Amino acid sequence: MAFSKKVYSLIAAAVTAAALFIGIYICHWHEAEPAWTFAFYLDGSGNLLIEQQRNLREIIQGSRMLERANVVVYLDRGTAPAAPMIHAWKGKRIFHVSGTYSEILSHPVTPALPLSVERPRFTGMLLKGLAADEAHLFERHYVLESGRYVLKEKGPAPEEEQAMVAALQKSGYLFSEDTFTQTVSTESISRFFSLVRDNYPARHYAFFIAGHGVGWSSLRSMQPSSEKAITQQLNKSFYADAIKKGLIHNEPEILCLDLCLMADLETLYQLRQSAAYLVLGQGPMPAGGQDYRYLFQRITAESASRPEAMARAIFASSTYALDKSKLNSAITLIGTGPGIDAFITGFVDMIMAEGAQRIAELQKDTYTRLPRWGGQAHEMIDLKSFIEAVRAETGISGPDTSAFVLSAHSTSKKASGLSIYYPQDAKTFLANRDEYAGLDFNEATGERWLEILDLKHGRGCP
Amino acid sequence: MRLLSIIFVCTMIVGCSSDSSDDLAVLLASNPGSGLTYSSIADDMRECAPDLGSSAITLWEDGDNGWSGHVTYGVLKKHFDSTSGSESIYATVLLVDETLSAVVENMSLSAWESQGEWSGGGWDVTHELVDGNVTLPSIFGGGVVSDFENYLTISGTVDESQYDSYFHYKQAGDDGIEKILYRFENAVDNECGAIYATRNSSTEDITVWIASHKAPGAIPADGSVHENDEFRCLLYFEGNIEAQSFKFKLKTDAATGWAFWGGGSTASDDDYIAVRGTDEADSQTYANDGGGVTDDSADTTYVVLTFGDMKDDAYDGGGYPKNGTAANLAAETDSSVGYIDLGDENCLYADIAAVQAFKYPEEKSELGFADN
């Protein structure tokens, strides 16, 4: 063999060996990194406390067989009325689910420096709001590795660490014992899911929020509970914009909202960039959300799966819980891809083709109004019934939801999976109009739907 | 056959490939628990009876009649919603479920099989294996149960209040009948409660007695103004999990005495439920004499509706509520009326005297606690 051929052969062998080595290294690196992080944000500060305590227990029990995954839970017990619980506490606590029930509850997660922060979050969130000297401390003690700013092994001195934690608490990035924050707030949502992403990284994230829900409207967010004579508690409800803002820079692949009344067109459009997949309930959901033990059975079977398969497993678990509860409602699995924008284009085209005036004059009885499930449910109509009514009246084929509705499951004759705002009462509409006008959906439709609502309630063209 | 409610779960570790041995070690270290789990009584009740509970239903708007299923403070909503607070038929049971499941799941198998004391998670627990007669609280009739097997006392500080609980238990053995007697007291809040429940794993029948007493001292004199935050209640519930049917009767000190009874099925939205009652069950507030309840009169009103109607906001009431007269009841066509017709085999009351004899606990001693 010629000398040059020998050299080429040696180089080729070296390159092959290096590739194999890198391949093995990458393979091991991927094996070391959990495939999924599941994070649960449970609001028990109102009348769902007992149900949320139970959810925590179900999550701990259900996740025992889960491998290569992180499970993190936030539970707000509010003022903690008589709801006995081991390791009782007031207010919020965060738990990394690893160990027995008792061990987990006796070791809540405490605010600390993030172990590592994704690059865009480091610059776009963590450093934001810090003074220059504080930011400098972070830049000094974190090093960029594979797209994440990692806390250096030789960490800051104790007094520096204290100053850094204090700076993050002051800026609102970290939870602080000294500052009360409502669980239903952008700030608290953001803090929790930041903590999750900073300390429990994985290839994929699935976030769950459980509590009260009211869709896109913040106006009904604060309501007293039903108890009249015995106790009076204030229930605060999640709404679309608070969730959207709380998830900026923290977007998971899957967002499951175990909240009532979230599957409406306005809410899903508001949340279209918050996750790749949304699991939403159109009507009432079981009091405590879903059966989390059953959820983990489904999740465990899919633990190595790609996001869509995992989203379908979570959706199946949600529908199981709905069926078991015997409630009349519907649950929808949304894929937040370009299909939503295509639908909006078709939706606007339909209105333009027929004219807002004509649609506003269509016989309102042909639309299926949602039952008085609470919140503003009775101010909503079923989207499918609306499109079908317009189609029957005008012959226009109208837009198709199948491009983004991956699956829907209904136990109600009046709900097929998605709603749209269509209030009957002018007074209610006027009270909500300003907020509605500020929704992303209104902007995306060029205010066409709002124009219909204005015409319907005698406001004429704005 | 239904699983026993407290079951010993053998955690089975399935085969793992060699490169997951580290994960296996972590799994074993982090899950050394006994595998004891507790099956919720409230869930069993909710298998049989409606639970209108949801995170939205609390916001339902006022309607124009107090029986309406969608009215915020409506009768149906008040009793058949897990989130309605103390007046829900599930409220006390949910509290008991919460404590028992947390305690049982923190017990080791050996602790369950032997007597002793242990502390964990903020609770101090003593465990005795019992063999002998246990007398039920007088509010439950004072009968004797001779086959309880376990007795636990559970003490701890919860939310700055001292909770003391007393739990007798019989597993569903050869006879398939599980028995639970649970009493708890929170002296700081002047609150105590008791539950006696049985579950038959063969027939799928459940029975639940529930008594609540929240008051700082003796019951006020007859005719007194109602005291805020005080609450006294007695509830008896029967259900069949397989048939998804139920019947119940309850009496509380709300209004001028609150009596409410009935039953039905939740197997499908087309199945019927019948309920009857009054908010003037007593001759005067706190009299607890049932003097306001008569048969064949307008003293009580009732509703017969399907499970689907109960959840449907558009349901117009179908002409209900109606007065509880013999003529009205006789004219009902659905057999569910039997649940509210005194003397019917499905009704838990044989006659008006039985209604009047069903009284809420006036003193804590009726639940087995010393009076203040």
pLDDT at A180: 85
List the single range of A7-21, B172-186, B190-204, B302-316 with lowest mean pLDDT.
A7-21
What average pLDDT does the structure give for chain A? 87
Q: Is the pLDDT of residue B72 over 80?
A: no
Q: Is the pLDDT of residue B10 over 80?
A: no
Q: Residues B337-365: what's their mean pLDDT? A: 97
The DSSP symbol for A125 reads I
**A348 in a domain, yes or no?**
yes
Q: Is there a contact between B30 and A231 if contact means CB atoms under 8 Å apart? A: no
Q: Is there a contact between B55 and A237 if contact means CB atoms under 8 Å apart? A: yes
A326, A328, A411, best to mutate vs chain B, most B CBs in 10 Å: A326
Question: How, if at all, do strands A148-151 and A142-145 pair?
Answer: antiparallel
**A433 in a domain, yes or no?**
yes
Q: Is there a contact between B186 and A82 if contact means CB atoms under 8 Å apart? A: yes
**A160 in a domain, yes or no?**
yes
Banded model confidence at residue A259, pLDDT cuts 50, 70, 90:
very high
pLDDT at A6: 64
Banded model confidence at residue A371, pLDDT cuts 50, 70, 90:
confident
Chain A residues near residue B307 by CB distance under 8 angstroms: 326
pLDDT at B13: 26
Q: Is the pLDDT of residue A25 over 60?
A: no
Is A14 or B186 the better-scoring residue by pLDDT?
A: B186
List the single range of A126-130, A404-408, B22-26 with lowest mean pLDDT.
B22-26
Q: How far is CA A17 from CA A21, A24, A25, A31, A355, in A?
A: 6, 10, 12, 21, 68
A230, A267, A381, best to mutate vs chain B, most B CBs in 10 Å: A230
Banded model confidence at residue A101, pLDDT cuts 50, 70, 90:
confident
Compare CB distances from B106 to A90, A101, A378 and report the shortest one's residue. Answer: A101
Q: Is the pLDDT of residue A384 over 80?
A: yes
pLDDT at A458: 78
**A161 in a domain, yes or no?**
yes
Q: Is there a contact between B53 and A286 if contact means CB atoms under 8 Å apart? A: yes
Compare CB distances from A230 to B23, B83, B231 and report the shortest one's residue. Answer: B231
CA–CA gap between residue B213 and residue B193 (Å, rounded): 6
Compare CB distances from A106 to B121, B158, B229 and report the shortest one's residue. Answer: B121
Phi-psi region of A78 (alpha: psi -120 to 50; beta: other; left: phi over 0): left
User: Taking the mean position of all CA atoms in its chain, how far away is CA B7?
Assistant: 22
Print the domain residue range for A352. Answer: 341-456
> Is the CB of residue B247 less than 8 Å from the CB of residue B263?
yes
- List the A222-224 sheet strands across, edge first: A212-213, A234-238, A222-224
Q: Is there a contact between B19 and A31 if contact means CB atoms under 8 Å apart? A: yes
Query: B47 to chain A nearest CA, in Å?
Result: 8
Nearest alpha-carbon partner for B45 in B200, B239, B236, B180: B239
pLDDT at B26: 24
Segment B83-127, tens digit of pLDDT? 877 888 999 999 888 888 878 777 777 777 889 998 765 678 899
**A235 in a domain, yes or no?**
no
What average pLDDT does the structure give for chain B? 83
A34 CB within 8 Å of a chain B CB: no
CA–CA gap between residue B368 and residue B182 (Å, rounded): 11
pLDDT at A416: 95
> Is the CB of residue A250 less than 8 Å from the CB of residue A197?
yes
Is A385 or A274 the better-scoring residue by pLDDT?
A: A274
Interface of A with B in 38-67 (CB under 8 A): 47-48, 50-51, 53-54, 57, 61, 64-65, 67
pLDDT at A73: 98
**Least CA distance to A107: which residue of chain B?**
B121
Contacts across the A-B interface (CB distance below 8 Å): 193
Other beta carbons less than 10 A from residue A395's beta carbon: 10
Banded model confidence at residue A32, pLDDT cuts 50, 70, 90:
low
pLDDT at B106: 74
- Boundary of a domain, candidates A174, A193, A219: A174
List the single range of A15-19, A332-336, A453-457 with lowest mean pLDDT.
A15-19
Q: Is the pLDDT of residue B217 over 80?
A: yes
Q: Residues B306-329: what's their mean pLDDT? A: 88
Q: Residues A112-140: what's their mean pLDDT? A: 95
A70, A226, A236, best to mutate vs chain B, most B CBs in 10 Å: A226
The percentage of chain A sitting over the pLDDT mark of 70, rounded to a whole number, equals: 88
Banded model confidence at residue A11, pLDDT cuts 50, 70, 90:
low
Q: Is the pLDDT of residue A410 over 90?
A: yes
Q: Residues B315-335: what's their mean pLDDT? A: 92
Q: Is there a contact between B311 and A328 if contact means CB atoms under 8 Å apart? A: yes
Chain A residues near residue B87 by CB distance under 8 angstroms: 227, 229-230
**A91 in a domain, yes or no?**
no
Q: Is the pLDDT of residue B150 over 80?
A: yes
pLDDT at A363: 63
Banded model confidence at residue A24, pLDDT cuts 50, 70, 90:
very low
Segment A173-212, tens digit of pLDDT? 999 987 888 999 999 999 999 999 999 999 999 999 999 9
Most confident of A34-43, B47-56, B109-118, B172-181: A34-43
Q: Is the pLDDT of residue B206 over 90?
A: yes
Q: Is the pLDDT of residue A150 over 60?
A: yes
Q: Is there a contact between B58 and A31 if contact means CB atoms under 8 Å apart? A: no
Compare CB distances from B98 to A53, A231, A287 and report the shortest one's residue. Answer: A53
A51, A58, A86, best to mutate vs chain B, most B CBs in 10 Å: A86
pLDDT at B7: 35
**A60 in a domain, yes or no?**
no
pLDDT at B81: 86
- Vertex A169, ends A164 and A171: CA angle to 5°? 95
pLDDT at B69: 56
Q: Residues A248-260: what's their mean pLDDT? A: 96
pLDDT at B68: 62
Q: Is the pLDDT of residue B254 over 80?
A: yes
Banded model confidence at residue B64, pLDDT cuts 50, 70, 90:
low
- Structural element, H or E, at residue A198: helix A186-199
Q: Is the pLDDT of residue A67 over 90?
A: no
Q: Is there a contact between B60 and A90 if contact means CB atoms under 8 Å apart? A: no
* Total structural domains within chain A: 2
Residue by residue, what is the 3-state secondary structure of chain B?
A: CCCCCEEECCCCCCCCCHHHHHHHHHHHHHCCCCCEEECCHHHHHHHHCCCCCECCHHHCCCCCCCCCCCCCCCHHHHHCCCCCHHHCCCHHHHHHHHHHHHHHHCCCHHHHHCCEEEEECCEEEEEEECCCCEECCHHHCCCEECCCCEEEEEEEEECCEEEEEEEEEECCCCCCEEEEEEEEEECCCCEEEEEEEEEECCCCEEEEEEEEEECCCCCCCCCCCCCCCCEEEEEEEEEECCCCEEEEEEEECCCCCEEEEEEEECCCCCCEEEEEEECCCCCCCCCCCCCCCCCCCCCCEEEEEEHHHHCCCCCCCCCCCEECCHHHHHHCCCHHHHHCCCCCCCCCCCCHHHHHHCCCCCCHHHHCCCCC
**A45 in a domain, yes or no?**
no
List the single range of A26-40, A318-332, B341-355 with lowest mean pLDDT.
A26-40
Interface of A with B in 205-244 (CB under 8 A): 211-214, 220, 223, 225-231, 233, 235, 237
CA–CA gap between residue B361 and residue A266 (Å, rounded): 51
Alpha helices of A92-177 — where are they, by DSSP H? 101-106, 119-121, 132-141, 158-171
DSSP labels, A271-289: TTTT-SEEEEESS--BTT-
The percentage of chain B sitting over the pLDDT mark of 90, rounded to a whole number, equals: 55
- Boundary of a domain, candidates A154, A174, A194: A174
Is B27 or B4 the better-scoring residue by pLDDT?
A: B4
ipTM value, please give it.
0.79
Banded model confidence at residue A8, pLDDT cuts 50, 70, 90:
low
pLDDT at A56: 93
With a CB cutoff of 8 Å and minimum separation 6, the contacts of A456 are A360, A422
Q: Is the pLDDT of residue B29 over 60?
A: no
Helix (H, G, I), strand (E, B) or coil at A163: helix
pLDDT at A233: 47
Q: Residues A319-340: what's their mean pLDDT? A: 94
